[in-house]
Amino acid sequence: MTLESILIACAIGIVAGWLASLVMKGAGSGLLRDMVIGVLGGFIGHWLIPKAGIALPGGPYVVAILTAFIGAVVLLLAIRMIAK
């Protein structure tokens, strides 16, 4: 991976994690936590979206953000279920 691709993945992770935190809690969780949630959500979404047979519309960055967002929401739901 190049430095540029790592920075892009972090930026996508921050945006996706922040959006997922807003949807799930109503406020962001902090830059580092949002980034970790978004990056992990990207992996989860990248695995889950094709399994569900979903084709997301948009350009490559939009699809990457949507995929990471969906994965981050799934991750936050799982964390919330385990915590209860």
CB neighbours of residue 69 within 10 Å: 22
Average pLDDT value for the chain: 84
Task: Supply the pTM of this predicted model.
Answer: 0.82
Token duo for residue 77: 């739901």
Query: What string of H, E and C letters represents the secondary structure of the chain?
Result: CCHHHHHHHHHHHHHHHHHHHHHHHCCCCCHHHHHHHHHHHHHHHHHHHHHHCCCCCCCHHHHHHHHHHHHHHHHHHHHHHHHC
Residue 40: other Cβ atoms inside 10 A? 18
Q: Which domain holds residue 31?
A: 3-83
The string of pLDDT tens digits covering residues 14-39 is 888 888 888 887 555 677 887 788 88
Residue type present at position 18: W
Number of domains in the chain: 1
